[in-house]
Amino acid sequence: MNALTLISHPLCPFVQRAAIVLLEKGIQFDRIDVDLSAKPDWFLAVSPTGKVPVLKVRQDNAEDAILFESMVICEYLDETQGGAPMYPVDALARARNRAWIEFASQTQAEAWQFLHARDSATADAKRTAFRERLGKLESEVGVGPFFDGSAFGMVDAVYAPLFRYFESIDATVAQQIFDGLARISAWREALEARSSVRDAVVEDYADRFQTHLRQQGALIAAA
């Protein structure tokens, strides 16, 4: 039994953040997937929000510690585990990273709403809103390959699951989203190639996500 157990769902992007950090740190961990449509009692007992991810931290001579909320988990791992730090040392640069991580929350919501739109009007509106946020992000991405340059960091771990959605849908639709965003497109490619990003999900993630979109009646599933 490993000291850390990640309670997860195969499609959850917030779980992926934590999994990426764990993999970047080279930490051995156990992973338990939960059916969020029929949450078991044991899960509800350990997750105050009823959401994933949850991290169980085994402690000697004490009950397991429970952490929830993806960024709380990610920052705990960064502060307590070995490997390269995932935030800049400089306080201003670190604050800037955290600001763009916060920016990811609404960006994630816009992407999700676009992907799940059931009619053309909603899809067009949400595509526009998502593109506008990507346009703001484009000017902040460094020369690459990652957000801050050569080192993979926390901002990369946060945005990689969002970009993964667009690897799983029709390539023409994805191209329309990222056309003209050269820095973000290069960043996406670098993240896609990162082993921690690839290994943060199950092998059939794309098939599962496409099935999910069809079950939700998403317009894009028919593209």
Summarize pLDDT for 104-162 with one digit per residue, the tens: 999 999 999 999 999 999 999 999 999 999 999 999 998 999 999 999 999 999 999 99
**Within 13 Å and on the Cβ side, how many CA atoms surround 8?**
23
Strands 30-33 and 4-8: parallel
Strands 4-8 and 54-57: antiparallel
Average pLDDT over residues 157-169: 97
Closest listed residue to residue 142, CA positions, set 183, 198, 176, 113? 183
Partners of 67 in beta bridges: 55
pLDDT score recorded for residue 174: 93
User: Average pLDDT, whole number, for the chain?
Assistant: 96
- State yes or no: is 74 an active-site residue: no
- Percentage of residues in the chain having pLDDT higher than 90: 95
199-209 pLDDT per residue, tens: 999 999 999 99
Three-class SS of residue 30?
strand
In the chain the domains, ranked by start, together with CATH numbers, are 4-80 (3.40.30.10), 91-222 (1.20.1050.10)
pLDDT score recorded for residue 208: 97
49-59 pLDDT per residue, tens: 999 999 999 99
CB distance 69 to 47 below 8 Å:
no
**Catalytic, out of 6, 7, 11, 12:** 12
pLDDT at 222 > cutoff 80: no
pLDDT score recorded for residue 141: 96
Alpha carbon distance 67, 53 (integer Å): 9
Contacts of 163 (CB under 8 A, 6+ apart): 187, 188, 191, 192
Token digits of residue 92? 């201003």
Contacts of 161 (CB under 8 A, 6+ apart): 13, 14, 16, 17, 20, 200
